[in-house]
Amino acid sequence: MQQGSALASPAAMSSWRGLGLWNFYFITKLVLLWYGQLNFHALENLAFAAFLLLPLPPQWLHRLRHLLAIPLGGALYYYDSWLPPFSRLIANSAQVSQFSADYMLELAGRFINPTWLAAGLILLVGYLFVSQWLRVTSFTLVALVLVLVVGDAKLFMPRPGAVPVPVLLSTPASTAPVVGDVAPAVIDDAFLNQTLDDFYASQRQQVTQFPSALAADAVPIDVLMLNICSMAWDDLEETGLVQHPLWAKMDILFDDFNSAATYSGPAVLRLLRASCGQASNADLYRPAAKQCFLFENLKQLGFTDGLLLNHTGRFDNMLGLLRDGGRLQAAASPLGQLRPALTGFDGSPIYRDREVLTQWWQQRLDLGSPREALFYNSITLHDGNRRVDKVTGKAVSADYKVSVRQVLDDLDSFIEHVQASAKPVLLVIVAEHGAALRGDLMQVKGMREIPSPTVTQVPAGLKLINAKAQLPQRPLHIQAPSSYQALSELIARLVDGEAYRNADFDLLGATRDLPQLDMVVAENEGSVMVRLHDEHYLRMENQSWIPYPQQ
C-alpha cells in the first residue's frame, strides 16, 4: 500500500502541467495594466488561469482544452481592452460594411504599435529564457491573486511621472457630497450616477426663448450654420492651426464648447435641437418639443430653411436623420457641375467647401427669400477620406493637416466673399466632433467610441458679417463651459438684426448670462464621460466609473 501511494503521487503531479506559453499571455496583460492601458478584470483572468491549470490526465483532452482556450483567451483580451463591446460592432456592422477595403486596412494598421511589438518580443524572449530554470506559473498566479485581492491601485502604483492606472470607484459614501465650488469628499458610483441624473433633470428644464415675432422694420438677415465634421481644438493643436486667421476673424469664440458626442448623427441632432438643454444620448432619438428645434424657431420668425451638404448624405442615412430627427425639411441644394475633390471612406464623392458654399451663395443672392437659415454640413475632414494623387493618379489617404488648413482657408475665403456682397449675415461655425488625431491611452488614433475631452472640446464661434455695430478688434471669448443652447441663445438675441443697423449695439452685453454647463457631460451609446472639478470620469456599458487617464 505504501509503495502504491508513493508511485501514485508523481503520476498525479504530472497532470499539473502549468500554464506554459499562457504565462506570456498573462504577463503581457500585467505589463499593460502597469502602464494603465488595459481595463483588467482580475476575477475573470484568474478563472481563465484556473481553467488552463485544471488537471486533465488524458493528453488528447489537455490538447483539446488548449484549442478551446485560444478563442476564449482572445475574447478575454478583447474584454480587457478599451475597445468597444462586440454589441456595438454588431450594431454598426451595416455601416462598417460600407467602408472601402483601403480604409479597412488603414484602420487595422492603427492597432499595430511598433513599440509594443518590440516590447512584446523582448518579453517573449525573456520568458522563454527564464522559464528554463524557474516555474513561471507560480509567479503568474501570485500576481493574478494579488491584483484580485489587493487591487490594481495598490499593487501597480504609478512610477514618478507616469499616468495613474484607472481605479474602480467602489468606495462607499459615508457623507452626502455637495456639487458646487467645493469638491466632494467622496466621489463614488452612487454620487456620479446621481449627479448625472440631476444634470439631465436640470437640462430638461432649460429652453431658449425666441422673440414671438420680428418687428416690421427689422433688418432682414441670414443665419448660416456651418457644421464641420472632425475638428477639435486638440486636432488643431496637433496640426499647429489653433492660430489660423479664421479664428481671429470671429466676433464671438467659445473656448470650452462641448460637442457632447463623437459621431456625426448625434452631434447633428444636438445642434438642430439646440434650443433646449442637453439631452441624454437615448433622448436624442425620442420625440422632442417643437420649441427645442432651432430651425423651427427661426421658421416661426419668417426664415426660410435651407440645407446644403458637400457630400451625398446617404451614409448612415444623414438626410433622413436631418428631416426626421432634426425637423429640417428643406431639400438639399444641388451641387450642379462641381467636380469632387475627395472620395469618402465609403467611396462616395466629397466636394470642396469653398466651391460648394460660393455656388450656393450666388444662387442665394439671385433667387433667395428675404431671410434664410442655412444648415451646411461638411465631411471634408472625415477619417478615411482619400484624394487622387496628381503624380501617380492613385487614390491616397488625405493628409489631415493639409485638409484642415484647406477647410479653414475655404471658410475664411467664404467670409470675405459674403462680406463683399454687403448683405447682413450671422455666420455660425461649430464642429461636430474631433478627429481623435492623436488618440490617447484608451483609444487608438481615429477611434471615437469613448467621448474623451480631446474629441468633444470643439471650436464654435459667430461672425456678424456686415453689421453696423462697433465690433471688437479681437473675438469676445466665452470661457465658461458651454454647449449648443448657448449658441441658440446668442442667435435668439441677434436674430432681430439690431446689431446690423445700430452702431451702438452692445455685443458684449449680448454675451452675458449665456447658458453654461455646471458639469460637462459627453455621451455615446454605451459610454458616458463627465468632467467634474477638472477631473474626468468614464462609465462604459453601465459598469463602475473610473477616472479617465490623462496623457
| Per-residue pLDDT of the chain in tens (551 residues, 90 and over written 9) | 444 444 445 555 556 778 888 999 999 999 888 877 787 888 999 999 999 988 877 888 878 888 899 999 988 988 888 776 656 555 554 555 455 566 556 655 566 677 777 888 888 888 888 888 888 888 888 989 888 887 654 444 443 333 333 333 433 333 334 444 445 557 889 999 999 999 999 999 999 999 999 999 999 999 999 999 999 999 999 999 999 999 999 999 999 999 999 999 999 999 999 999 999 999 999 999 999 999 999 999 999 999 999 999 988 889 999 999 999 999 999 998 899 999 988 888 999 999 999 999 999 999 878 999 999 999 999 988 988 776 676 777 889 999 999 999 999 999 999 999 999 999 999 999 999 998 887 787 888 888 999 999 999 999 999 999 999 989 999 999 999 999 999 999 999 999 999 999 999 999 999 999 999 999 998 899 999 988 999 998 778 898 887 65
Residue of 138, 137, 152, 145 whose CA lies nearest to 22: 137
pLDDT the model gives residue 162: 37
pLDDT the model gives residue 368: 73
**Is beta strand 527-532 parallel, antiparallel or unpaired with respect to 535-540?**
antiparallel
pLDDT the model gives residue 294: 98
In angstroms, the CA 338 to CA 406 distance is: 17
pLDDT the model gives residue 443: 81
List where CATH 3.40.720.10 sits in the chain: 204-517
Instruction: Tell me whether residue 487 is exposed, middle or buried, using C-beta atoms within 10 angstroms of its C-beta: 0 to 12, 13 to 18, 19 or more.
Output: buried
pLDDT the model gives residue 179: 46
pLDDT the model gives residue 249: 96
In angstroms, the CA 450 to CA 536 distance is: 12
pLDDT the model gives residue 550: 66
- Residue type at 154 in one-letter notation: K
The single residue listed with the C-alpha cell 465650488 is 181
Q: Is 422 left (phi over 0), alpha (psi -120 to 50) or beta?
A: left
Beta-ladder partners of 457: 258
| CATH entry 3.40.720.10 includes domain 204-517 | yes
Instruction: Tell me whether residue 278 is exposed, middle or buried, using C-beta atoms within 10 angstroms of its C-beta: 0 to 12, 13 to 18, 19 or more.
Output: buried
pLDDT the model gives residue 102: 62
